[in-house]
Structure 1
Amino acid sequence: MLVFPLLPPLIRRPAGRASALARVVCGAACLVLSALPGASAATAPSTAAPVAASAPSAAAPAPRVLRYAFPTAETGFDPAQISDLYSRTIAAHIFEAPLTYDYLARPARLRPQTAAALPEASADFRTWTFRLRPGIYFADDPAFGGRRRELVAEDYVYSIKRLYDPRWKSPTLGLLEGSRILGLSELRQQAIQGQRPFDYDAPVEGLRVLDRYTFQLRLAEPAPRIHYYFADGAMLGAVAREVVEHYGDEIMAHPVGTGPFLLAQWRRSSRIVLARNPGFREERFDAEPPADDPVSQAIAQRLRGRRLPLLDRVEVSIVEESQPRLLGFLNAEHDLLDRLPPELSPPILPHGQLAPHLQKKGVQLERVAGVDITYAYFGMENPVVGGYGPAQVALRRAIALAYDAQAERQQMRKGQMLPAQSIVPPGVSGFQAGLRTEMSQQDLPRALALLDLYGFADRDGDGWRERPDGGPLHIEFSSQTDQISRQQQELWKKAFDALGLQATFRIAKWPEQLKASRAGKLMMWSVSWSAATPDGAYFLDLMYGPNKGQANHARFDLPEYNRLYRQQSSLPDGPQREAVILQMKKLGVAYMPYKVVGHRMINDLMHPWVIGYRRHPFLRENWRYVDVDPEAQARAGVAR
């Protein structure tokens, strides 16, 4: 059953949301944060820890709780089944991969997590050996029958195999399948063809347990960067077989990992609570910040040596609308605002700087260029916008050229976005700063000429174009109900109208759209894709044919692109690989399965009692490194 949230009062004094927002957007003179005392105890669900009405006694120290909101609902927490950012963010704090990233090092640097050291790679990058640290345990769960369950190499072997099991329909399978772990694809095909269920106990040449704490990959092709995937707990975090067999199809709601947090409460699409894992091993804060980054240096000095996780609990609400999410932060109902909504940024970040009235309150700003893309895709198997013939390509390119991407970047997102030239963003391998393509252009005359040239004409005089064969031409664009989606719909409607293309918008909740998109049922949809590794191939995956229904929601499948994809995947980083990636990006522009609009600027806001927060370009499990100071909250009059 879906439980939807009742939004708590946003301002303590009697005022409606509209008037409260007006006070926010009027600027520094409003002193919005004068209402900072926070939410009342009545806003807390009855199942959560009670909110203290007064300062706790010395014998009962106040819990260290981080509260903030997701703008989009989660789908679940099973690494084999999830791909959306918000589900993956939760899962990454519960499950642990063998590797992780140094929290403060820039550029990003891998380090061992459950592994004893970085993996050993053969000279040809076809064999990778991972050795684990003994004495790491899963969180207690009834599935273990009351015994303490140690993490062993077999758990990672099992977790990798689950991605190949067709039962789970893993959306991330393609990330590994391109490396061709010897024998696993064949085992998967046997299950798909109905010869027998997926056999987890069958020996696989390319995935072997060497001893209790060591496992090895053997690949058909060189894979110089495959180890990056083993730093993603939301994809390759260890899952215990007993847990999966115990919960079966309910596994999305029962995540059990070795990480610092466990799932304490979940009201679907409403509220997620993580609690400190009491059985988490002893781990201390240890990071190596750049010498020229004083903020990270100060964090490292303050937190070095403290036992992780620093927090007792993380409470996440789902607040889809931008205004309530911002007001929730300004009223100290949330400690952190993850990604300031760009449409609300002008009064908060005038001239790119934090507003003076917020600075006086000690609010902190973390501003970074996101390693991501925002795009609209065309369903390449859709009979209206899909296909590879000249007329079909012309239709997609005309729609892309008619869309006012600059208006989205400057007006809708208030300048908090950089223009995109291809599907690969800055901050990963394969990005070329000097590249210029029509991806970032708006050219309505050229768009109209393309449609005229290829026979898309208004033959019956109703004001709308038909297909070259005279058949009806109707565009269906999928979207959501939130404010920024509504603004985006207006921009796309202007583009369709300018081209004489009849269009409607299919509105649904994010999880519903995601499910339909994976099944190939959407004609067009606008979403974002964020980096999980420093490798640009994570974005090239979006157009690789075998990834259809996984990362490749457009279901683009071009033989030449697929050939180049396989070529670059086996090449080491360097000029030769960069040249191949450039060819791939140009094919993406030419065939236009994705209209990439831009790369977002990310502005995170924190109250002064939040300690140690730094946004990492690839690391999702950063909550173990963040602290909340209850004494500072008390001084600010925030009751929790």
Structure 2
Amino acid sequence: MFKQGCAILLRARIKALLLISAALAMLQAAGLARADEAAQSQSGAKPKVLRYAFRIAETGFDPAQISDLYSRIIAAGIFEAPLQFEYLARPVRLRAATADALPEVSADFKTLTFTIKPGIYFNDDPAFEGKKRELTAADYVYSLKRHFDPRWKSPNLYLFENARIPGLNELRREALKNKTAFDYKRPVAGLTALDRYRFQVRTEAGDPRFVNHFADPSTMGAVAHEVVERYGDKIMDHPVGTGAWALTEWRRSSRMVLEKNPNFRDLRYDEQPPADNARLVAQAAQLQGRKLPMLDRVEIAIIEENQPRWLSFLQREADMVEEVPAEYAPIAFPNNKLAPNLAKMGLQMVRYARADVAISYFNMEDPVVGGYTPNKIALRRAIALAIDVDKEIRLPRRGQAVPAQGPISPGVFGFEPTLKTTMSEHDIARAKALLDLYGYVDADGDGWRDQPDGSPLTIEYATEQDGEKRALAELWQKAMDSINVRIKFRHAKWPENLKASTAGKLMMWGVGWSAAAPDGDTFLALGYGPNKGQSNKARFDLPAYNALYEAQKKLPNGPERLELMTEAQKLLVAYMPIKLHVHRVYTDIAQPWVLGYGRNTFVRDFWKYIDIDPEVLDATK
């Protein structure tokens, strides 16, 4: 027995060494090694380069076509919205970006008037035929209209469509009905360029929080019409904006390189971190007044597997690791504190709760799991009850999450800490009883439940092949086995699953949803009927829910709105179009030479606010 145990241990060690060797080879192929850096800046000093990795591949970089987080991060560095959220301020505050001040907002919240700063220029591109191209108000009018153009199939249309901007919905319907090109030149009453630098947006909804959409550069970033006209359907590959960064290299699903936009205006560091964060207070003081961006280049690799991504950081071949893989949490930050050996290396831990929710949705139009009849609701509720969220948090997520009672996450308006629902309950007996009661029984004696009409019951769950998703799939398999429900998994790359999901072709999919502004409306939008195929991947469409969603949207923040939002959350729990799993807590770790690194879940373009200290970097070699 002892010899057998030793043999098993030896095989395990050999396997671990082989995995590490393979991981290191992957790192080399990904081009992360600093030894290959030979380029020199104009001053003769070595360029300041930030290197790190995404765990999920991008889809492209056109604000009118993207909805996934990682594409949004890249787009947010390239494009600029009129407004932005302050990087380090707590509580979160809006401020001007390309606008010269916050917009004029009418008392009924129906009219917003923006004034754009003169002298802001797009990055150079052949589309401009050698001329410097200034940002104007007309560019924001054009960029907003693009979300209504059926050609681009904008997944963010709902953000503006629901505001009811007079003339835009009609223009879209006309293009769809007549199958003609969207008429950008036709004036519309609700969206007007008043002059070269001023534009006005009018809505019928009067949403007090509509202004927040103009702080998201990955949605409302200014795109020049010349660029769209030049590249057409290839516009996802050719992002040209006024932001701090320009995409200079892109190997799809492998590597992205961004360099300083030479036309970026003179913008200076002026961030005010929370007084209780001594590290950031000291570093922000050191950076005050510096011209942005302070880095020369950002290099991002796509490394889907956790081990090589983590090893690249430990080998000092990456400057930071974003979202430390949960499996390494116990050794990297036991009890949520940076491990002593990592602290001695001077590493910096940034822990934050992203405003997000991890979900598994049911396609409500699917003949097996969809529908609003009691038996279909019972099936979805039984499946949800079989999922052990506590085990999910304890094992694959390693304690880096909290159970979700409703879709609205902590950190945004609408989150109700006292809300307790059945969403986080795990009860196999009740799940089986529900299935028995509504006729999901083993009709043919093969040990698996069938549908009430006697046909086989099989659910199909879409997922990806990275380590965390495999661990979550194992929990799903065990949960469905426990209630005698067949499950099969549909494996694909994340961008492929996103495309199929948008088209309504997935029965179920596990995915995350994050907020771009500190408000719970974006989470309730997951179930709003008119948002089908956009935020509403479940394609849920319940009149009672839609009415609550529309009513809360019109109200200012306060008890009345909070009550409506809570009632809407309860309807989602009752009908179960979405199994809400957890709200995740993230931990990033940065090398000691990274200065000014903090996190604001509503600021994706953080690169321009951080710096590399060359003296500290050189001292570690």
Structure 1 length as normaliser, TM-score? 0.92
Secondary structure at the aligned position of 1:525 is classed as strand
1:4 is matched with: none
* DSSP-derived class of the 2:80 partner: coil
Q: 1:335 aligns with which of 319, 323, 336?
A: 319
Counterparts of residues 551-562 of structure 1 (less than 5 Å): 551-562=535-546
1:224 to 186, 197, 208: 208
Aligned to 1:511: 495
Q: Which residue of 2 aligns with 1:182?
A: 166
**What do the CA deviations read for 1:567-613 (whole angstroms, capped 9, x no partner)?**
11111111111011011000000011111111111110000011111
Moved more, 97-106 or 56-65: 56-65
Cα pair 2:41 2:47 within 8 Å, conserved:
no
Match status 1:418 vs 2:402 = yes
1:427 aligns with 2:411: yes
Name the residue aligned to 1:282. 266
- 1:90 counterpart = 2:77: no
- The aligned counterpart of 2:5 is none
CA contact (8 A) 1:154 1:212 kept: yes
Find the aligned partners of 2:217 and 2:333 in 1 and give their Cα distance: 34
Question: Are residues 1:368 and 2:352 paired?
Answer: yes
How do 1:287-302 residues align onto structure 2 when only pairs under 5 Å count?
287-302=271-286
- Tell me how far 1:307 sits from its aligned partner: 0.1
Within 5 Å, give how 1:115-134 maps onto structure 2: 115-134=99-118
Q: Please point out which of 453, 459, 480 is paired with 1:469.
A: 453
Alignment partners' CA distance in 1, 2:536 and 2:186? 30
8 A contact 2:103–2:112 mirrored in 1? yes
Change (3 A) 1:89 1:16: farther
2:260 maps to a residue whose letter is R
| Map of 2:17 onto structure 1 | 19
Task: Note if contact 1:104-1:290 (Cα within 8 Å) is conserved in structure 2.
Answer: yes
Distance 2:323 2:86 in 1: 22
Alignment of 1:117-196 (within 5 A): 117-194=101-178, 196=180
| Counterparts of 2:126 and 2:291, CA distance in 1 | 27
**Aligned residue identity for 1:566:** E
State how far apart, in whole Å, the 2-side matches of 1:293 and 1:275 are: 30
Which residue is equivalent to 1:51?
37
C-alpha deviation, 1:313, in angstroms: 0.2
- Distance in 2 (CA, whole Å) between partners of 1:321 and 1:576 is 45
Q: Which residue in the other structure is 2:3 paired with?
A: none
Is the Cα–Cα contact under 8 Å of residues 30 and 254 in structure 2 kept in the other structure? no
Which residue is equivalent to 1:457?
Answer: 441
1:494 aligns with 2:478: yes
Shift in Å, 1:194: 2.1
1:391: which partner in 2?
Answer: 375
Where does structure 1 lack aligned partners over 5 or more consecutive residues? 1-14, 24-34
Give the secondary structure class of the aligned counterpart of 2:291: coil
Distance 1:505 1:487 in 2: 13
- SS of alignment partner, residue 412 of structure 1: coil
Q: Please give the alpha-carbon distance, in whole angstroms, between the structure 1 residues aligned to 2:171 and 2:324.
A: 46
Question: Relative to structure 2, which stretch is displaced further, 286-295 or 240-249?
Answer: 286-295
**AA matched with 1:271:** R
Are the aligned partners of 1:372 and 1:530 in contact in 2 as well (CA < 8 Å)? yes
Task: Verify the 8 A CA contact 1:66 1:311 in the aligned structure 2.
Answer: yes
Q: Is the 8 A contact 1:21 1:327 kept in 2?
A: no
- 3-state SS, counterpart of residue 93 of structure 1: helix
Q: Are residues 1:563 and 2:561 paired?
A: no
Which of the numbers 292, 297, 300 marks the counterpart of 1:313? Answer: 297
Q: Which residue of 2 aligns with 1:523?
A: 507
Pick the aligned partner of 1:441 from 425, 428, 437.
425
| Cα distance change of structure 1 residues 106 and 457 upon mapping to structure 2, 3 Å threshold | same
Aligned amino acid, residue 448 of structure 1: K
**Deviation (angstroms), 1:347:** 1.1
The structure-2 alpha-carbon separation of the partners of 1:630 and 1:43, relative to structure 1 and needing over 3 Å to count, comes to farther
Which amino acid counterpart does residue 414 of structure 1 have in structure 2? R
Q: Which amino acid aligns with 1:506?
A: R
Identity of aligned residues (%): 56
1:265 paired to 2:249:
yes
Per the TM alignment, residue 22 of structure 1 is displaced from its structure 2 partner at its CA by 8.0
Aligned partner (choices 380, 383, 390) of residue 364 of structure 2: 380
Residue 598 of structure 2, aligned match among 599, 614, 625: 614
Letter in 2 for 1:269: S
Amino acid at match of 1:625: Y
Offset at residue 249 of structure 1 (A)? 0.4
- Aligned counterparts of 1:44 and 1:452: Cα–Cα separation in 2: 56
For residue 471 of structure 1, report the CA deviation from its aligned partner.
2.1
After superposing on structure 2, the runs of 4+ consecutive aligned residues of structure 1 that deviate more than 6 Å are 20-23
Judged with a 3 Å threshold, the aligned counterparts in structure 2 of structure 1 residues 57 and 77 are, in CA distance, closer, same or farther, namely: closer
Say yes or no: does 1:209 pair with 2:193: yes
Shift in Å at residue 373 of structure 1?
0.5
Residue 186 of structure 1 aligns to a residue in which SS? Answer: helix
1:412 positional shift: 1.1
* Inter-partner Cα distance in structure 1 for 2:507 and 2:614: 49
Alpha-carbon distance in 2 for matches of 1:362, 1:78? 38
Q: Deviations over 1:183-217 (max 9, x none)?
A: 11111011111253110011111001111101111
Equivalences, count:
606
Q: Provide the alpha-carbon RMSD of the alignment.
A: 2.0
Do structure 1's residue 198 and structure 2's residue 196 form an aligned pair? Answer: no
8 Å contact from structure 1 (residues 39, 331) kept in 2: no
How has the CA–CA distance of structure 1 residues 293 and 362 changed in structure 2, closer, same or farther, with 3 Å as cutoff?
Answer: closer
Offset of 1:21 from its aligned partner? 7.4
1:479 corresponds, among 456, 459, 463, to 463
**Which residue identity does 2:70 align to in structure 1?**
Y
Q: Is the 8 A contact 2:352 2:586 kept in 1?
A: yes
1:624 maps to which residue? 608
Deviation, 1:296, is: 2.8
- TM-score of the two chains, using structure 2 as the length reference: 0.95
Q: Which residue of 2 aligns with 1:6?
A: none
Partners in 2 of 1:357 and 1:412 — Cα distance? Answer: 24
Structure 1 residue 468: Cα displacement: 1.2
Contact 1:63 1:630 in 2 (8 A): no
SS at match of 1:495: helix
CA–CA distance in structure 2, aligned partners of residues 355 and 370 of structure 1: 22
Structure 2 Cα separation of the partners of residues 44 and 485 of structure 1: 26
Please identify, of 310-319 and 290-299, the stretch whose mean Cα deviation from structure 2 is larger: 290-299
Shift of 1:58: 11
Higher relative contact order (CA 8 A, sep 6+): 1
Structure 2 partner of 1:238: 222
CA distance in 2, matches of 1:178, 1:555: 16
1:193-245 deviation digits (Å, cap 9, x = unpaired): 12531100111110011111011111111111011010000000000000000
**Aligned residue number for residue 532 of structure 2:** 548
Q: For residues 366 and 379 of structure 2, what CA distance do their matches in structure 1 show? A: 13
**CA–CA distance in structure 2, aligned partners of residues 16 and 315 of structure 1:** 33
CA contact 1:44–1:51 (8 Å) conserved in 2: no
Please say which of residues 270-279 and 340-349 is displaced more in the overlay: 340-349
CA distance in 1, matches of 2:41, 2:412: 49
